[in-house]
Amino acid sequence: MKKTIRIATLLSLATLPAMAQVASEHPGATSSAGMPQLDFGNPWTIAQVVWMLIIFGALYYVMARYALPQVESVLEARRARIEGDLESAQAAKQRADAAMAEHQAATAKARTEAQAAVGAATQKAQAEAAARAEALNAKLASQIEAAERQIASARDNAMGALRQVATDTADALVTRLIGRSDSAAVAAAVERELAARGRA
Amino acid sequence: MAAEGKAIDALSQFELVPFMGALGESVRFSQSNAHMLLAFGLITALMMWGTAKRSIVPGRLQALAESGYEFVHGIVTGQVGDQGKRYFPFVFSIFMFVLFGNMIGLLPYAFTFTSHIAVTFALAALVFVVVTVVALAIHGTHFFSYFFPEGAPKALAPLIIPIEIISYLSRPISLSVRLFANMVAGHVMLKVFATFVVMIGSAAGVLGLIGAVLPMAMNVALVGFEILVAFLQAYVFAILTSIYLHDAVHLH
């Protein structure tokens, strides 16, 4: 049927050169008065309408049956194609969004991990520093204690020596003053005096 | 300057002559019908082969075919609504047939079959019959309520009903006369001014040749105007057909 339409179309287009011939063969024959269109007595006027109905019928048939469905299918295919493209674009965008979200999640995770590692390292370093400081403090404290002990023992020694010196001096003074010595009394006096001053 | 019986002959262009001599004579196939056949061929070629490649990105011919389709489709669905799709091929055929008839008629030596009242009236009568049959098929006898609008005072019925019937019956007349008169007027004007060109140009030597430029310029403008009219009248024919179909489908 498509072939028939093709042939019919070509034949109808072939009327074109034939028309020029008609026009040149009939250079407007002198008409009777009035418009030729209103000459309904002319059998050609009626025949023209009959042929028109046939040709228009053929046109309607070809349009309704073949041409318009074809155009519609082309338009439909384009619509479908565009919709498909839009859909795939949307899918691609979704994929990209998902990848982006994944990337962001990975970045966030890496950041928290890094922060945790930094925190742990800081803590460890602080702990180490604290331990070292404590050890140092302990060492210093022990040194200070030793030094204090040394000082105390030195003072005690000095204090012990002081009693001897005080006793001897006092004894020598008493001997010089009174001409005799009373070592026991002097020692007791020195002892009393030292106790009074808190240096026993 | 109608001397020597050289009257302006603007009407003989509308005369029907047999196409291809004796062959046309035998079946009464006139040059008018040959132009209809040409229109059929051009429309079919445009629609069938224009879209044969089915390109996603259309070429020029396919774009033309598609815009023609979508233009008429817009008219029909715009006027009739979704039910209008059934009548789309009919309106499309009418539109294209009238459009190509008008446009082919503007070519030199061509005949304008839409300048024949018999042709335009037959087309309009076809529209009238189709519309009436559609209305009767959809609404049955309820269709006759179309001639008396709902809510109108009953007392006015003797006045309204005849007016509505006359206006309904005069549709094919106005539809056909509009197209016919437009095409005839245009072609008569073209012919008259073309005759002036020849008359003035052959009358007074160099002066005449200069004077002939005026009607020539007029004709150039007229051809442009006629292209507009050719399209516009096809559009009017199609849109009125759609409006009538709207009335047939929806009754007001």
- Structure-block tokens of residue A174: 């008493």
The torsion region of residue B19 among left (phi > 0), alpha (psi -120 to 50) and beta comes to beta
Which structural domain, as residue segments, surrounds residue A191?
Answer: 152-196
A91 part of a folded domain: no
Q: Which two tokens stand for residue B175?
A: 């539809």
Q: Is A3 a domain residue?
A: no
Mutate to test the interface with A, among B37, B95, B195 (most CBs of A within 10 A): B37
From chain B, the residues in CB contact with A53 under 8 A are 122, 126
Rounded distance, CA A107 to CA A111, Å? 6
- Please report the number of interchain residue pairs, chain A to chain B, with beta-carbon separation below 8 angstroms: 188
Number of domains in chain A: 1
Q: Tell me which chain A residues have a C-beta less than 8 angstroms from the C-beta of B34.
A: 15, 18-19, 22
> What band does B233 get if pLDDT is binned at 50, 70 and 90?
very high
pLDDT average, residue stretch B118-136: 95
How far off is chain B from A60, nearest CA to CA, in Å?
6
B177 contacts chain A (CB < 8 A): no
pLDDT in tens, B3-19: 334 567 778 888 888 88
What confidence tens digit (pLDDT) does each residue in A112-129 have? 999 999 999 999 999 999
Q: What is the pLDDT of residue A132?
A: 94
Asked whether the predicted pLDDT for residue B98 surpasses 90, the reply is yes
In a domain, A168, yes or no: yes
Q: Is the backbone of residue A26 left (phi > 0), alpha (psi -120 to 50) or beta? A: beta
Contact B232, B105 (CB under 8 A): no
- Mean pLDDT value across residues B105-127: 93
The pLDDT tens digits of the residues spanning B219-232 come to: 999 999 999 999 99
Is the pLDDT at A194 greater than 60, yes or no? yes
Helix, strand, or coil here: A26?
A: coil
Yes or no: say if A119 and A111 are a contact pair by the CB < 8 Å rule: no
Identify the DSSP state of B30. Answer: B
Of all residues in chain B, the one with the smallest CA distance to A32 is: B12
Say how many C-beta atoms besides its own lie within 10 A of residue B184's C-beta.
21
Q: Inter-chain contact A55–B35, Cβ cutoff 8 Å?
A: no
More confident residue, B171 or A35: B171
A62 lies in some domain? no
Report if residue A186 sits inside a domain.
yes
pLDDT at A144 over 90: yes
Give residue B45's pLDDT.
Answer: 93
- Please say whether the beta carbons of B81 and B247 come within 8 A: no
- pLDDT of B129 reads 96
**Between A34 and A144, residue with greater pLDDT:** A144
State whether residue B184 sits within 8 Å of chain A by CB.
yes
Of A22, A42, A74, the CB nearest to B51: A74
B118 vs A35: CB contact, 8 Å cut-off?
Answer: no
Residues of B in contact with A68 (CB under 8 A): 47, 69, 88-89, 92
Per-residue b/e over B47-57, b at no fewer than 16 CB within 10 Å?
Answer: bbbbbeeeeee
Average pLDDT, chain B: 89
A61 Cβ under 8 Å from any chain B Cβ? no
Which residue in B93, B109, B130, B180 has the most chain A C-beta atoms within 10 A of its own C-beta, making it the best mutation to test that interface?
Answer: B93
Q: Is residue B106 scored above 90 in pLDDT?
A: yes
Residue in chain A nearest B47 by alpha carbon: A67
pLDDT of the residue at A27: 45
| Chain B hits for A10, Cβ within 8 Å | 41
Query: If contacts are CB pairs under 8 Å, which of residues 32-51 in chain B contact chain A?
Result: 32-45, 47-48, 51
In this complex, do B115 and A37 lie within 8 Å of one another by their Cβ atoms?
yes
Judged against a pLDDT cut of 90, whether residue B114 lies above it is answered with: yes
Whether the Cβ atoms of residue A71 and residue B69 lie closer than 8 Å to each other: yes
Q: What is the average pLDDT score of chain A?
A: 85
Q: Tell me whether residue A183 is in a domain.
A: yes
Distance CA B96, CA B162 (A): 35
Residue B44 · residue A58 · CB < 8 Å: no
Note whether A49 contacts B: Cβ–Cβ < 8 A.
yes
Residue B89 distance to chain A (closest CA, Å): 5
Whether residue A28 is predicted with pLDDT greater than 50 in this model: the reply is: no
Give the model's confidence band at B23: pLDDT under 50 very low, under 70 low, under 90 confident, else very high: confident
Is B54 within 8 Å of B40 (Cβ atoms)? no
A33 touches chain B (CB under 8 A): no
Min Cα–Cα distance to chain B from A13, Å: 5
Q: How does pLDDT run across B49-67, given as a tens digit for each residue?
A: 888 888 888 889 999 999 9
Per-residue pLDDT, B113: 93
Q: Nearest by CB to A55, from B36, B56, B88: name it.
A: B36
Q: Per the CB < 8 Å rule, is A20 touching B109?
A: yes
